[in-house]
Amino acid sequence: MSYNGSGTFVINSAGTPYVSGTVISSTAANSLNSDLATGLSTAICKDGQSTPTANIGLGGFKITNLGAGTVASDAARLSQVQNSGTTTLIAITGTDTITGTVSPTLSAYVAGQAFSFIIASTNTGAVTLNINSLGATAVTRTGAVALVAGDMVTGQVAIVEYDGTRFQLLNGNSFTNLKASGTLGVTGITTVAAGSAAAPSIVSTTGTADTGQFFPAADTIAYSTAGTERVRITSGGNVGIGTSSPSGRLHVSGGYAGFEYNSGGAYPSYNTWFGAIGTNFQNGASYLDFWNTVGSGFQWHIQTAASTQTSVMTIDSSGNVGIGTNVPTAPLHVNSASNPQIKFGGSSAAYFWSLDREASAGDFAISNANGGGATERMRISAGGDLLLGTTSSGGVGFTVATDAAGRILTSNVSAVPFDVYLFKNSGTTVGKITINTSTTAYTTSSDYRLKQDIQPMTGALAKISALKPVAYKWKIDNSDGQGFIAHELAEIMPDCVTGKKDATEEQEYEISPAIPAVVDADGNVTTPAVEAVKGTRTVPSYQGVDASFLVATLTAAIQEQQAIIETLTARITALETL
């Protein structure tokens, strides 16, 4: 007698089943009693006298009225799991030496265990955590870095994870040596250490640790290079260059010490000398002077020594103005070895237009500033390419980078139809864009006088049958599309496709834009111009499809198909009359 494997107890003892009217032998009765005892012993006692010897399937039913688990080997009630009773520490005490308990009681620290708790007191230094008296273990951040004061704040929730050696704090309140690649967004106030000239608190990843920004006093900002303070802005708004105690809005100390009118000293002998701005000339320091020189008109010079003069502007006897040249050949002649620029501004320095020439590339550019930094609007390259909204032509004679909506406006106020764009090859029109009152036509040349060896198209239906139209999604925005794969279409109808499969090309691009020189109200350059930095890169040269070339083939295919249809129709009609 035994269970049948599906939970049914089967009686198969010798002498069973009993037959009515017969004597039940003691052997049969004893065998049955033994089998019953064996079956009852296999059952689970509700009072806990016996335990299962194999996994018990509940058949989709649940255990109800389960007691709460109290040791690690107990089953957990759903309420215990929902309330995270196995990971939330209770009875938290301590500031830097924290103790807590977890229920059910933890028997040992195991790598990967995570615990959360509400911080009782803001820490003042390194922290340890002792759970269920298993031993005080260090709490660190970003690996083995000890906590510093304020990393754990009263009332906040701390989350720690045991890594096999220590507890690592996963949501600390501060960072050491934070580095961000790309854009770092911060909501609220970011606090950094005061730092010093030798160890600034804010440095660049491309520089050294002794070059950057620091905060030497309350409401004061300073900048250092190579461990030496170079610039300071005080709480009163004074700027010091070469001094940590600026006494004016701009205080320059050391080398060229500032701006002053120099009314004394030994100056060179010229026809008419007017004055100078600079430091003591007798000590060889530089200054700006201006005088009238015979045969050269009225000139402004920069002096660096008693016998060294460099002309910066000249007005000759014809009224021509030369900037950067002593021999102006036009009413305004600007010359520079780097980036000549003419700027047109108004009462606000934030609004202006400028004309620039890049010395390295020989390009001519027009830029403007509309309340912010200068933005280049148009450029004529050294090769004669016209560029609008971009600084790189990519080898195209006319390049336009449109606004955010991708629009180029072409307007016509004369009678229609009107050809707004003509496309010519060696002087012959090969295509045009024509606008009418309410429509636009895009046409390419197709005059019979341009063609020869004209023959009827054959085999069109076979070509159309060989095409592989597909549906797809564009990678750039996952939008739906339908059409052909260019290189597959080229195998059947090469006239419809431009370019080659997997082709690449070298593209010029701008690594960093040109930055015009910054001048003050008196025309003095305060920040020199920076030329644009350009490079080349290999980019895909994508194939294109002109579906208009399919029209003639589709037309011929329809005609061939129609001829087949008419032939079949005639045959069917003939058969129906039989």
* CA 463 – CA 332 distance, rounded (Å): 67
Note the pLDDT of residue 22. 81
- Over the stretch 411-437, which tens digit does the pLDDT of each residue have? 665 667 888 888 888 888 889 988 888
What is the distance, to the nearest Å, from the Cα of residue 104 to the centroid of all Cα atoms in its chain? 47
Say which range, 225-229, 365-369, 552-556, has the weakest mean pLDDT. Answer: 365-369
Q: Are 155 and 130 in contact (CB under 8 A)?
A: no
Provide the 8-state DSSP code for 515.
Answer: B
User: Which H helix or E strand runs over 371?
Assistant: none
Give the whole-angstrom CA distance, residue 82 versus residue 357: 70
> Residue 3 pairs with which residues in a beta bridge?
9
**Confidence band of 310 (pLDDT split at 50, 70, 90):** low
Return the minimum-mean-pLDDT range out of 395-399, 492-496, 564-568: 395-399
Whole-number pLDDT of residue 134: 92
* Chain segment 492-536, per-residue pLDDT in tens: 999 999 999 999 999 888 888 777 777 665 556 788 878 778 889
The CA distance from 277 to 263, in Å, is 9
Strand partners for 141: 145
pLDDT score recorded for residue 412: 63
pTM given for the model = 0.37
In angstroms, the Cα distances linking 563 to 459, 462, 558 are 13, 14, 8
Q: Give pLDDT tens digits for 118-128.
A: 999 999 999 99
Instruction: Tell me which range, 103-117, 260-274, 281-295, 480-494, is most confidently predicted by mean pLDDT.
Output: 480-494
Does 417 sit behind a cis peptide bond, omega within 30 degrees of 0 on the bond before it? yes
Do the Cβ atoms of 381 and 363 come closer than 8 Å?
Answer: yes
Strand partners, 566: none
Average pLDDT over residues 552-557: 92
* Structure confidence at residue 105 (pLDDT): 80
pLDDT for the residue 456: 93
With 0-12 CB in 10 A as exposed, 13-18 as middle and 19+ as buried, what is 281?
buried
pLDDT over threshold 60, residue 328: yes
Q: What is the dihedral of CA 157, 163, 166, 168, to 10 degrees?
A: -30
Is residue 254 very low, low, confident or very high in pLDDT (cuts 50, 70, 90)? low
Pairwise CA distance, residues 418 & 416, whole Å? 5
